[in-house]
Amino acid sequence: MAAKSAISHAADIGAALPFPVNAAIQKAGQTCSASSRILVQGRVYDTVHERMAAAYAEWGADLTIAT
């Protein structure tokens, strides 16, 4: 299994997350840089999962005019 994005416990998670989050959304995920898989080290998995979920929630529903 290959992944293009890896996040370890040594990463600045706040600085690292915008890149895979945006890569998954930009151009509807149809680019070679889209986040197809993200490897996250076990000890930071819960933090990364929560922050990614919050980041995607900010985008809102695709049928909402405000988003």
Please write the tens of the pLDDT for every residue from 9-54.
Answer: 898 999 988 888 887 777 666 777 667 788 899 999 999 999 999 9
Structure confidence at residue 47 (pLDDT): 95
54 dihedral zone (left: phi>0; alpha: psi -120 to 50; beta): alpha
